[in-house]
């Protein structure tokens, strides 16, 4: 495995009172484990606040876990000193969600893309310029972009600059944190196609984070579904229609059907997402789950393997039908 996150726990302290003492914790990640093979694309999906971005930042060593390990290509990153970590950083990079705030408005595109080469002492000035121009062309931008500032570009073009910056050091792993969520739908397709093309050309491995399944279902070999800091289902992308967790069912039912003559019955979850400060006992999804029973409040469900590469955290998984066997799309009758 190129990347393994093992039993990751992350708690953020809550300060309160006159002395600013710790009065509680936000439980962002709870015993999360994730593995990615070289050349694979793993899609990580879930609602806002489920812990996706926190996990991404832990993998990138922008945050330290409260417990657990992050292992990259056999090298444990957790607790590694910056001096030893810096050479490894060249091999894993991140594409950020917001193409507007993630680029320094005071720097030209040339300066933005040259910076990682300077930090890691790659090449000389002339070689660096050639590398930057070459990368701009790889991501579909002209060499003239070198001297321009971020405000002179559209959102999609800015995200291309963000992708180019992440790839300047030719990393093995790219963590893409909702790279298309801030873009128009037409531009989203262009960026996804670009990322697939670059993956083939540069033999990249992706952790692709998104909040909706329609973006990742055709892109990922494996899909991991998170809810309130827990992984509730892991399933091969090609088998997504066989998903068994009730939360995955709800996400799938929200994916639009391209055919306007068909309509799918949406699964509407009752209630709100519980607070990560005071999560429910047992299964964290039980307060919104249509199948919940008394056992669900008493015991945390473990990920159970139903078949190779398909694991589900649900006490009632044997009773829940695969998504494809629920009520399918029905015809829309004209008035």
Distance CA 109, CA 126 (A): 16
Q: Are 322 and 176 contained in the same domain?
A: no
pLDDT in tens, 25-40: 999 999 999 999 999 9
234 is a domain residue: no
Q: Are 280 and 195 contained in the same domain?
A: no
pTM: 0.92
Distance CA 76, CA 4 (A): 9
| Count of domains forming the chain | 2
Distance CA 139, CA 68 (A): 36
331 is a domain residue: yes
Q: Are 266 and 172 contained in the same domain?
A: no
Q: Are 184 and 268 contained in the same domain?
A: no
65 is a domain residue: yes
Q: Are 100 and 195 contained in the same domain?
A: yes
Distance CA 199, CA 206 (A): 8
CATH number of the CATH domain containing 74: 3.40.50.300
Q: What is the mean pLDDT of the chain?
A: 91
Distances (CA, A) of 180 to 20, 52, 162: 39, 15, 11
Q: Are 180 and 297 contained in the same domain?
A: no
229 is a domain residue: no
Q: Sign of the CA dihedral 168, 116, 59, 25?
A: negative
231 is a domain residue: no
Residue with tokens 């473990």: 302
Task: Examine the fold and report which residue of 185, 220, 255 is the final residue of a domain before the chain moves on.
Answer: 220
Instruction: Name every residue whose Cβ is closer than 8 Å to that of residue 185 and which is 6 or more positions away in sequence.
Output: none
Distance CA 80, CA 59 (A): 12
Q: Are 213 and 253 contained in the same domain?
A: no
Residue 16 binned pLDDT confidence (cut-offs 50, 70, 90): confident
For the cut 80, the answer to whether the pLDDT of residue 324 exceeds it is yes
Q: Are 81 and 25 contained in the same domain?
A: yes
88-92, 246-250, 321-325 — which is least confidently predicted?
A: 321-325
Q: Are 11 and 145 contained in the same domain?
A: yes
226 is a domain residue: no
For the cut 50, the answer to whether the pLDDT of residue 20 exceeds it is yes
Q: Are 254 and 192 contained in the same domain?
A: no
Instruction: Judge whether 313 and 230 are in contact, CB under 8 Å.
Output: yes
Distance CA 97, CA 216 (A): 15
pLDDT in tens, 244-267: 999 999 999 988 777 777 776 778
Q: Are 72 and 151 contained in the same domain?
A: yes
237 is a domain residue: no
Q: Are 153 and 55 contained in the same domain?
A: yes
Instruction: Provide the domain limits for residue 323.
Output: 243-335
Instruction: Judge whether 205 and 172 are in contact, CB under 8 Å.
Output: yes
What does the chain come to in residues? 335
Distance CA 206, CA 170 (A): 13
φ, ψ dihedrals at 225, nearest 5°? -105, 125
């Amino acid at each position: 495995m190129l990347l393994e996150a093992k039993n990751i726990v992350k708690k953020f302290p809550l300060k309160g009172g006159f002395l600013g003492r710790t009065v509680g914790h936000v439980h962002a990640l709870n015993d999360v484990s994730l593995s990615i093979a070289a050349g694979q694309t793993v899609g990580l999906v879930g609602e806002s606040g489920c812990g996706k971005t926190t996990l991404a930042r832990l993998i990138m060593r922008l945050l330290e876990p409260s417990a657990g390990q992050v292992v990259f290509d056999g090298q444990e990153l957790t607790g590694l000193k910056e001096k030893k970590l810096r050479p490894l950083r060249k091999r894993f990079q991140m594409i950020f969600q917001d193409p507007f705030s993630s680029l320094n408005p005071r720097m030209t595109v040339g300066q933005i893309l040259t910076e990682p080469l300077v930090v890691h002492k790659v090449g000389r000035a002339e070689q660096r310029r050639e590398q930057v121009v070459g990368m701009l062309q790889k991501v579909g931008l002209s060499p003239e972009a070198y001297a321009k500032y971020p405000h002179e570009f559209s959102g999609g073009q800015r995200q291309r600059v963000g992708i180019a910056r992440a790839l300047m050091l030719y990393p093995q792993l790219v963590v893409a944190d909702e790279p298309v969520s801030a873009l128009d739908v037409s531009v989203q397709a262009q960026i996804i196609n670009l990322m697939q093309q670059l993956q083939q050309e540069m033999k990249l491995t992706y952790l692709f984070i998104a909040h909706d399944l329609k973006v990742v279902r055709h892109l990922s070999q494996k899909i991991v579904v998170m809810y309130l800091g827990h992984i509730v289902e892991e399933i091969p992308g090609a088998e997504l229609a066989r998903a068994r967790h009730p939360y995955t069912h709800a996400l799938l039912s929200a994916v639009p059907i391209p055919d306007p003559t068909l309509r799918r019955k949406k699964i509407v979850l009752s209630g709100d997402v519980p607070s990560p400060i005071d999560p429910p006992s047992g299964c964290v999804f039980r307060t919104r789950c249509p199948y919940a029973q008394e056992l669900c409040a008493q015991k945390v469900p473990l990920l159970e393997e139903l078949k190779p590469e398909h694991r589900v955290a649900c006490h009632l998984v044997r009773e829940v039908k695969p998504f494809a066997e629920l009520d399918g799309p029905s015809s829309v009758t004209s008035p």
